[in-house]
């Protein structure tokens, strides 16, 4: 399970957007709208999960890469932007599905 955060004051329509793992040509999923300053949980099935070398890529409905993150070592918990939606990716202190990242 992964989450997206909308830091803006407006709802964002994500229909047609896709997400993938290290292979950007497989494992795409379509998203729903995400509310202002809200989280959207996305169910992903990565073959290696967070325990292996992998990546996450977010593509717009036009196929343009919007965001991405790759890792080479497994985190003790999870990865998240610290602070939500603006900072760099970091290993969080605990998993925080559907709520703010628990940053060190």
CATH code of the domain in which 32 resides: 2.60.40.1260
- With respect to residue 92, please indicate whether it lies within any of the assigned structural domains: no
- With respect to residue 94, please indicate whether it lies within any of the assigned structural domains: no
Distance CA 85, CA 101 (A): 10
Predicted confidence at residue 11, as pLDDT, reads: 95
Task: Report the number of distinct structural domains present in the chain.
Answer: 1
- With respect to residue 91, please indicate whether it lies within any of the assigned structural domains: no
Distance CA 100, CA 103 (A): 9
- With respect to residue 69, please indicate whether it lies within any of the assigned structural domains: yes
Predicted confidence at residue 88, as pLDDT, reads: 87
The residue range of the domain holding 48 is 2-73
- With respect to residue 51, please indicate whether it lies within any of the assigned structural domains: yes
- With respect to residue 25, please indicate whether it lies within any of the assigned structural domains: yes
- With respect to residue 82, please indicate whether it lies within any of the assigned structural domains: no
Predicted confidence at residue 55, as pLDDT, reads: 82
Could you read off the pLDDT tens digit of each residue along the chain, which spans 104 residues? Answer: 578 888 899 999 988 888 887 766 665 676 788 999 998 877 666 554 555 777 888 888 898 999 888 888 888 888 888 888 888 888 899 888 778 888 88
Predicted confidence at residue 37, as pLDDT, reads: 92
């Amino acid at each position: 399970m992964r989450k997206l955060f909308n830091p803006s004051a407006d709802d964002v329509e994500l229909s047609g957007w896709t997400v993938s793992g290290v292979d950007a040509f497989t494992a795409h999923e379509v998203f729903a709208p995400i509310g202002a300053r809200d989280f959207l949980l996305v169910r992903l099935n990565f073959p290696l999960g967070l325990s292996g070398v992998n990546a996450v890529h977010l593509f717009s409905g036009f196929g343009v890469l919007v965001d991405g993150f790759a890792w080479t070592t497994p985190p003790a918990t999870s990865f998240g932007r610290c602070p939500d939606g603006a900072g760099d990716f970091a290993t969080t202190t605990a998993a925080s599905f559907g709520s703010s990242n628990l940053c060190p």
